[in-house]
Amino acid sequence: MRRTRPFRVAVFCLLLVAPLYAASHKSPATRIDLILSEPDLARGFWGIQVVSLSSGRVLYEHNADKLFTPASNTKLFTTAAALALIGPDYTFRTTVETNGTLDKHGRLTGDLLLVGRGDPNLSGRELPYALHTERTDHPIEALEQLADEVVQKGVKYVDGDVIADDSYFAFERYGEGWSQDDLVWADGAPVSALTTNDNVVFVNILPADRAGEHAFVNITPFADYYHVDNRMITTPAGTGRRIFINREPGSTVLTIWGNMPLDDAGANEALAIEDPAEFAAGLFRQLLEKRGVVIYGQQRTRHTDLASLSTFTVTALAPARGGAEPSRALQNQPLVLASHESKPLMEDVRVINKVSQNLHAEILLRLLGREKGTAGTVEGGLEVMRGFLNNVGVPPDQYVFYDGSGLSRQNLVTPSAVVLLLRYAAQQAWGASFRDTLPVAGVDGSLAERFTDEDVQGRVRGKTGSLGGVKTLSGYATTVRGEEVAFSILTNNLNLPSKRVTDAIDDVVGAIVADGPAKKKK
C-alpha cells in the first residue's frame, strides 16, 4: 500500500497535466488550423504556403493554388523582375538640355528642356534608407542643383520656353483598377518619368491665434500649384479635431474644411499633384527666375501619348542606364547644360519594399517596358513581367497583374506563385540584397510595430499588403530550429478591424517560426 498510493498520485497528476501540455505543444500545422477555424476569421478567404528553402519541401499549405488579391505583395514581383532584368546598379539620369544655341552674352536661343528618365528620388528623401523614412528640409534640392548648374553654364536669358519633358514613359498616370479615392493622396500619386518630391505636396495645417478664425494652411514645395479654398475653423482648446480635404480629379483646387482646436499641434498631409511634368515646369521656371534668369517664353510639357505608340516604337533604340532619348539619335545631339544621376537602383528597391512605396514601384514597371520591352507603358512592363515569370517557372494561370504596385484590385496571384518567386530570388546573386530590402519583424519598415514576441523579432523578413478587405504578408523566415523557409499568407474578404486580421497573420507566422510546421496533406 505504501508503494501503490504514491504511484496512483503520480498517475493522477499526469492525467491532469497531459491535456495542458498537449494544448501548449500542438504542432505548428495544428496551431495554424486552429487560428483559421476561429469563426470570424473563417468567414474570409485564406491562402497559405510554407516551403523549405533548402529542400523545397512543402511544409504547410492551405488554398495554395487559389487566386487572391495580393495588394502590395505585387511589389515582390516588380522589384525582383527589375533586379533580375535591369540590375541593382542601374542609375537614372535627369538632364537640362537644349537644341538651341547659347551665345557669349548668356542668351539661349531655343527652348530649355528639363528631361526626366524615371528617377523616383528627386526629393528630400535620405538614401540609403535606414530604419524609417527620413527627409531633409530641401525636397527640391535636386532641381535647385540643376538650376544652379544652368546658371554656372552662363545662361542669363531664355528666348524660348521652359519645357518639362516626361516622354521617356507614356503619359499613363494611373493603373487599371485603381480607386478614385486613392488619387487625392500620396498612395495614388500619378506616375511620370519626371517625378519631383514623390509627386506630392505637403499641406501643413495649424490653428489660428484665436477661436473662430480660419486655420493657417501652408503648402510646400510649390505653394502656387494648388488654389486652396480654406474653410478650416479654429475652435476652443479641447474641442477635438476634424479635417476634410477634397480635390476633384483634373482639378487644382483644394477644398479644406473642418475644425482644429487652439491647443492642436497641427497636421501635415501629403496630397498628390495632377500632372507631374506641369508641376516640374512651373517649379523649375521659378527656380531659374530666382537665380536671375530671364525667361521670355512660356512653361509647358512634353508627353508621349499612348495613341502615338501604335505607330512609333519608343524603345527600339533604348539605351542602357537611362541615357538620352532614342528618338534623338537621328537628330543633332542636344547641348546638355546640367545633369543629375541617381543612386543605384537597389537603393530604391529598398525604399519600395520597406515602406511599400506605390509610385516608385509603378516607375519600375514602366522602366521594365522601356528598357527590356516594347514601350515605357504599363502594358509594356507587364509583357516583360510575364516573360520573366515564365522563365522563373510560375504558371501563367497562377497570376494576373494590372499594375506594379498592387493598388489595383484586379490583380490576382496564388500563394504558390509568390513562394516560387521567393525561392527563385533566394538563389540569385542579388538574392541576399533582395531579402535585405524587406521589412524586418519588429524592427523597421512596415513591420516595425508588429511581432512583439521576442522569438519572432528579427527572424522574419516580409512584404506587407493592405487594401479594404485584403491583408497579406509574404517573405522569408528562420525557424527556431534554424530552417530557412519562404512563405506567403494572403487573406481576402475579411470584414474585420485591421488589427484583428494582422494579429491573426502574425499568429500564423509565430506558428511557422515556432519549430517549422509539419507537412499538412491536402
DSSP labels for 46-106? EEEEEEETTT--EEEEESTTS-B--GGGHHHHHHHHHHHHT-TT---EEEEEESSEE-TTS
Residue whose C-alpha cell is 484590385: 409
* Cα-based angle 481, 482, 483 (whole degrees, multiple of 5): 100
> pLDDT at residue 8 above 70?
no
Distance from C-alpha of 346 to C-alpha of 358, rounded to nearest angstrom? 16
- Within 10 Å of residue 159's Cβ, how many Cβ atoms? 15
Q: Which three cell numbers stand for residue 21?
A: 501540455
- Do the Cβ atoms of 74 and 413 come closer than 8 Å? yes
Q: Residue 134 — pLDDT band, cuts 50, 70, 90?
A: confident
CA 38 – CA 30 distance, rounded (Å): 13
**In whole angstroms, what is the distance from residue 417 CA to residue 434 CA?**
17
Longest dimension (CA), the chain: 117
* CA–CA separation, 441 and 444 (whole Å): 7
Average pLDDT score over residue span 45-54: 97
Q: Which has the closest alpha carbon to 516: 54, 23, 24, 52? A: 52
| Backbone CA torsion sign across 201, 202, 207, 209 | negative
Q: What pLDDT is stored for residue 25 in this prediction? A: 58
Closest CA to 199 of 212, 186, 181: 186
Mean pLDDT over 245-253 rounds to 88
pLDDT band for 325, please (50, 70, 90 cuts): very low
What is the model's pLDDT at position 318? 39
Q: What's the pLDDT at 20?
A: 40
Q: Rounded mean pLDDT of 87-103?
A: 97
Q: How confident is the model at residue 279 (pLDDT cuts 50, 70, 90)?
A: very high
Q: What is the pLDDT of residue 165?
A: 98
Contact assessment for residue 328 and residue 190, using Cβ atoms and an 8 Å cutoff: no
Bridge partners for 465 per DSSP = 472
Taking 70 as the threshold, does the pLDDT of residue 1 lie above it?
A: no
What number of other Cβ atoms are within 10 A of residue 39's Cβ?
6
Query: Is residue 9 over pLDDT 80?
Result: no
Question: What does the alpha-carbon distance between residue 31 and residue 290 come to, in Å, rounded to a whole number?
Answer: 65
Can you tell me the distance from the alpha carbon of 387 to that of 207, in angstroms, rounded to the nearest whole number? Answer: 54
Q: For residue 168, which amino acid is it?
A: Y
Q: How far apart are CA 355 and CA 447, in angstroms?
A: 9
Between 138 and 345, the more confident residue is: 345
Quote the CA–CA distance of 316 and 325 in Å, as a whole number. 11
Q: Omega into 128 within 30° of 0, i.e. cis?
A: yes
Please tell me the predicted confidence (pLDDT) of residue 455.
83
**Is residue 10's pLDDT more than 70?**
no
Write out the H or E segment, with its range, that includes residue 384: helix 378-392
At residue 131 the predicted structure's pLDDT band, cuts being 50, 70 and 90, is confident
Of the pLDDT bands very low, low, confident and very high (cuts 50, 70, 90), residue 151 is: very high
| Sign of the dihedral through C-alpha 412, 416, 417, 421 | positive
Domain boundaries, the chain: 28-86+344-515, 91-173+275-343, 180-274
Q: Is residue 160's pLDDT more than 50?
A: yes
**Looking at 26-35, 45-54, 297-306, 352-361, which range is the least confident one?**
26-35
Q: Kindly tell me if the per-residue pLDDT of 64 is higher than 90.
A: yes
Q: In CATH terms, is domain 91-173+275-343 a member of 3.40.1280.10?
A: no
User: Where does the pLDDT of residue 319 fall: very low under 50, low under 70, confident under 90, or very high at 90 and above?
Assistant: very low
Per-residue confidence band for 6, with pLDDT thresholds at 50, 70 and 90: low
From the candidates 123, 167, 192, 356, give the one annotated as an active-site residue: 356
pLDDT interval class at 249 (50, 70, 90):
confident
Average pLDDT of the chain to the nearest whole number: 90
Q: How far apart are CA 253 and CA 270, in angstroms?
A: 15
CB atoms within 10 A of CB 130: 11
Q: Which residues contact 37 (CB under 8 A, 6 or more apart)?
A: none
75 in catalytic set: yes
Q: Cis omega before residue 70 (within 30°)?
A: no
**Out of 140-149, 316-325, 334-343, 376-385, least confident range:** 316-325
β-bridge mates for residue 382, sequence order: none
Which single residue is written with the C-alpha cell 494582422?
A: 502
What is the pLDDT averaged over residues 65-93?
98
Q: What is the mean pLDDT of residues 219-231?
A: 91
pLDDT exceeds 70 at position 511: yes
Radius of gyration of the chain (CA): 27
Tens-place pLDDT, residues 406-422: 999 999 999 999 999 99
Cell triple for residue 20? 495542458
More confident residue, 43 or 14: 43
- CATH number (3.40.50.1820, 3.90.1170.50, 3.40.710.10, 3.30.420.40) of 28-86+344-515 reads 3.40.710.10
Please state, in angstroms and rounded to a whole number, the distance separating the CA atoms of residues 41 and 250: 40
pLDDT at position 202 is 94
Percent of the chain with pLDDT over 70: 89
Confidence of residue 453 (pLDDT cuts 50, 70, 90): confident
Instruction: Tell me: pLDDT of 317 over 70.
Output: no
CA distance 202 to 186: 10
72 catalytic, yes or no?
A: yes
Which grid cell is 284? 523649375
Q: Is the pLDDT of residue 21 over 60?
A: no
Tracing cell 501548449 back to the chain, one arrives at 24
Examine the pLDDT at 263 and tell me if it is beyond 80: yes
Phi, psi of 127, rounded to the nearest 5 degrees: -125, 145
**Which position has the grid cell 514645395?**
221
pLDDT at position 129 over 70: yes
* Cross-strand bridge partners of residue 412: 400
Residue 380, pLDDT > 50, answer: yes
User: Is the model's pLDDT at 293 over the cut of 70?
Assistant: yes
Place of cell 530557412: 484
66 labelled catalytic: no
Nearest partner of 167 among 342, 385, 324, 340, judged by Cα: 324
